């Protein structure tokens, strides 16, 4: 059984999707951007506070949804924890590189 936040995420994503079912709607979305907020924000699921955010874009209608790193992992199966660890490592030491998971997952600029 889904918990309340998963149910809210499902409802909100379906509202922004072309598809009418969760399994179909999930396939419409792709990762567009990840960032760390300066001030805490609220995930589409209702969870507050979140700092590590992922912007998703619906490939069918252009809609955008901003979700926390935990929800994007559950929703899309993306290794968001690895992505944010890599970003923090590079921010701390610019001579470091992104990990392979982040490189393969993050969208290319302008793509």
Kindly report, residue by residue over 10-33, the tens digit of the pLDDT: 999 999 999 999 999 999 999 888
Query: Residue 12's pLDDT is what?
Result: 96
User: Mean of the pLDDT values across residues 63-92?
Assistant: 84
Going by the DSSP 8-state scheme, the letter that residue 106 receives in this structure is S
Structure tokens at 33: 């951007």
First vs last C-alpha separation in the chain: 37
* In-domain check, residue 48: yes
* In-domain check, residue 41: yes
Task: Tell me how far apart the alpha carbons of residues 1 and 30 are, in angstroms, rounded to a whole number.
Answer: 26
Query: Residue 80's pLDDT is what?
Result: 77
User: Mean of the pLDDT values across residues 98-104?
Assistant: 59
Q: What domain count does the chain have?
A: 1
Q: How many CB atoms lie within 10 A of CB 91?
A: 10
Query: Residue 1's pLDDT is what?
Result: 36
* In-domain check, residue 98: no
* In-domain check, residue 61: yes
Q: Which of 51-55, 70-74, 80-84 is predicted least confidently?
A: 80-84
Query: Residue 106's pLDDT is what?
Result: 58
* Structural domain harbouring 45: 4-78
For 55, the 3-state DSSP assignment is: strand
Closest CA to 54 of 109, 111, 97, 105: 105
Query: Residue 44's pLDDT is what?
Result: 93
Query: pLDDT higher for 97 or 73?
Result: 73
Kindly report whether the peptide bond that precedes residue 88 is cis, defined as omega within 30 degrees of 0.
Answer: no
User: Mean of the pLDDT values across residues 77-97?
Assistant: 76
């Amino acid at each position: 059984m889904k918990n309340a936040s998963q149910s809210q995420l499902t409802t909100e994503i379906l509202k922004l999707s072309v598809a009418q079912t969760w399994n179909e709607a999930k396939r419409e979305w792709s990762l567009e951007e990840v960032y760390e907020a300066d001030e805490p924000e609220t995930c589409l699921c209702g969870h507050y506070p979140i700092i590590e955010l992922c912007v998703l874009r619906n490939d069918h209608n252009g809609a955008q949804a901003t979700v926390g790193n935990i929800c994007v992992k559950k929703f899309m199966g993306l290794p968001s924890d690895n992505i944010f660890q890599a970003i923090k490592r590079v921010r701390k030491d610019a001579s470091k590189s992104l990990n392979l998971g982040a490189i393969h997952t993050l969208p290319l600029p302008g793509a």
